[in-house]
């Protein structure tokens, strides 16, 4: 019997029992029989990487917690190599927009940050405790709450985030777009030589890419990412995905800011489900007088008209998300009813869209910085000035970052110690 498999099985069994689950409870989560779970826990069968992530998501912990701690006798597993073995089609494309090229850029950026001693002074990304969620409701509530905490930590207020990828870069999370295989919409990597990297499919709309960047940030914050994670379309989301989706929508569209924005459109934010009569209570004069309540009739109030498609599109444009994300956030705030949400979704799925959709489309130049390329180019110029790399290496990195030959002299000029202003 493989000793390593036996040790892994022992750890998995301990994790299951400590949470009060039986083998029969775990089997449906992996789509196998109870006897298969028994074979895994006794070391007679290995657990696949995808099954390990599903199990970690079900337990609400990091996949690394379910693995045997590294010892001198155990060889460290290369997470990226395992990723390419699981998804060999990721390495097939070697073009300028390939996933492999983005990974190479991330490694080059890590190398530069080490040379420039940036990595030594960088603030680590916080890790929020992953609550044990057994239902999508619990996972969603956790995602919403942590998004609010993270916005407060970053002092983002209640306004929109203009550059999502640039914000994440300041947190130590690299963002990039690449041509991903069919069915995969984003990839996340947490490896020492790559750093924290989120890659989204370049075929997605700008609004969708911004959402996926925030989605990837959530996995890192919750510590359930493991060495890598592939997010696929058309696959039933596990609890970790539900948590990350909830985080992304709340991180991009904060509820209090959305309420205030809707009010600027001339619509109230009490919601269609709110009562038509309010009760306003007064404590009285503070002595022996009993407080009184005043009923305020609101049946004829202004701004009680339902939101229109134009209102939803304006809110989506303001926060830089898709109309669907904005519509669901409004539904969660009870500003939209279920019936109105269904009607809006039906309109959005039609081939003929409202003309305002194109008019309010986000201009890429103002909402996406291509931060991985810009940071790589800037640090390469700084490294050349400091003498930590030579001209040949600088030109290699400039090619990686897409800086044309005619722009390199100006790049070096503006990053010199005494630029001519």
The residue with greater pLDDT, 291 or 218, is 218
Q: Measured between alpha carbons, how far is 90 from 99 in angstroms, rounded to an integer?
A: 6
Range in 109-113, 162-166, 226-230, 304-308 the model is least confident about: 304-308
Kindly indicate the confidence band of residue 409, based on its pLDDT and cuts at 50, 70 and 90: confident
Range in 38-42, 46-50, 273-277 the model is least confident about: 273-277
> Average pLDDT of the chain?
81
Q: Do 90 and 100 meet the contact criterion of CB atoms below 8 Å apart?
A: yes
pLDDT for residue 246: 95
Distance of CA 230 to the CA centre of its chain: 12
pLDDT for residue 353: 53
pLDDT for residue 271: 56
Residues 6+ apart with CB under 8 A from 245: 140, 143, 215, 237
With 70 as the cut, is the pLDDT of residue 68 above it? no
Which token pair is 15? 């994790």
Phi, psi of 102 (to 5 degrees): -60, -40
Q: Do 33 and 39 meet the contact criterion of CB atoms below 8 Å apart?
A: no
Q: Is the pTM of this model over 0.95?
A: no
Q: Do 284 and 291 meet the contact criterion of CB atoms below 8 Å apart?
A: yes
pLDDT for residue 217: 95
pLDDT for residue 76: 45
Which token pair is 343? 């009607």
User: What is the arrangement of strands in the sheet containing 195-201, beginning at the earlier edge strand?
Assistant: 173-178, 195-201, 184-191, 228-232
pLDDT for residue 26: 83
Q: How many CB atoms lie within 10 A of CB 90?
A: 21
Q: Do 106 and 173 meet the contact criterion of CB atoms below 8 Å apart?
A: no
Report strand pairing: 173-178 vs 277-282: unpaired
pLDDT for residue 340: 86
Average pLDDT over residues 284-290: 64
309-355 pLDDT, tens digit per residue, is 888 888 998 999 999 999 999 999 888 888 888 988 888 777 445 55
Q: Do 199 and 97 meet the contact criterion of CB atoms below 8 Å apart?
A: no
Average pLDDT over residues 154-181: 93
Q: Measured between alpha carbons, how far is 217 from 213 in angstroms, rounded to an integer?
A: 6
pLDDT for residue 72: 45
Which token pair is 384? 């050349």
Which token pair is 288? 């022996």
Q: Do 367 and 210 meet the contact criterion of CB atoms below 8 Å apart?
A: yes
Q: Do 187 and 229 meet the contact criterion of CB atoms below 8 Å apart?
A: yes
Q: How many CB atoms lie within 10 A of CB 109?
A: 25
pLDDT for residue 297: 75
pLDDT for residue 300: 67
94-137 pLDDT, tens digit per residue, is 677 889 889 889 999 999 998 888 876 667 788 787 767 788 89
Which token pair is 242? 């539900």
The residue with greater pLDDT, 39 or 273, is 39
Q: Do 342 and 281 meet the contact criterion of CB atoms below 8 Å apart?
A: no
Range in 87-101, 220-234, 361-375 the model is least confident about: 361-375
pLDDT for residue 146: 94
């Amino acid at each position: 019997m493989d000793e390593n498999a036996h040790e892994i099985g022992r750890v998995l069994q301990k994790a299951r029992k400590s949470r009060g689950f039986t083998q029969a409870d775990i089997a449906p989560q992996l789509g196998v029989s109870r006897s298969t779970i028994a074979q895994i826990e006794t070391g007679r069968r290995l657990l696949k990487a995808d099954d390990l992530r599903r199990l970690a998501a079900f337990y609400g912990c990091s996949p690394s917690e379910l693995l045997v701690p590294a010892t001198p006798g155990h060889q460290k597993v290369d997470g990226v190599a395992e990723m390419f073995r699981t998804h060999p089609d990721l390495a097939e494309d070697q073009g300028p927009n390939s996933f492999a090229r983005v990974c190479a850029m991330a490694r080059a950026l890590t190398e530069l940050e080490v040379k420039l001693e940036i990595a030594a002074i960088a603030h680590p990304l916080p890790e929020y405790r992953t609550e044990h969620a057994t239902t999508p409701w619990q996972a969603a509530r956790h995602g919403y709450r942590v998004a609010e905490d993270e916005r407060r930590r970053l002092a983002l207020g209640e306004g929109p985030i203009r550059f999502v990828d640039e914000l994440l870069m300041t947190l130590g999370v690299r963002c990039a777009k690449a041509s991903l295989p069919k069915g995969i919409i984003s990839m996340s990597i947490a490896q020492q030589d790559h750093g924290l990297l989120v890659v989204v499919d370049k075929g997605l709309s700008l609004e969708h890419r911004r959402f996926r960047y925030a989605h990837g940030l959530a996995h890192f914050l919750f510590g359930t990412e493991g060495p890598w994670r592939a997010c696929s379309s058309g696959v039933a989301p596990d609890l970790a995905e539900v948590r990350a989706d909830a985080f992304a929508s709340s991180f991009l569209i904060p509820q209090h800011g959305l309420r205030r924005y809707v009010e600027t459109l001339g619509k109230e934010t009490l919601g269609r489900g709110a009562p038509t009569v309010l009760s306003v209570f007064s404590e009285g004069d503070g002595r022996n007088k009993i407080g009184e309540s005043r009923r305020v009739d609101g049946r004829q109030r202004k701004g009680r008209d339902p939101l229109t498609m134009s209102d939803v599109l304006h809110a989506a444009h303001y926060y830089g998300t898709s109309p669907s994300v904005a519509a669901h956030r409004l539904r969660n705030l009870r500003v939209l009813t279920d019936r109105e949400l269904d009607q809006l979704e039906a309109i959005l799925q039609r081939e003929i869209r409202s003309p305002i959709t194109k008019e309010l489309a986000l201009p890429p130049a103002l909402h996406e910085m291509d931060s991985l390329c810009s940071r790589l180019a800037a640090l390469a110029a700084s490294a050349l000035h400091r003498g930590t790399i030579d001209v040949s290496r600088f030109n290699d990195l400039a090619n990686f970052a897409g800086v044309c030959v005619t722009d390199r002299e100006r790049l070096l000029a503006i990053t010199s110690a005494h630029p001519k202003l």
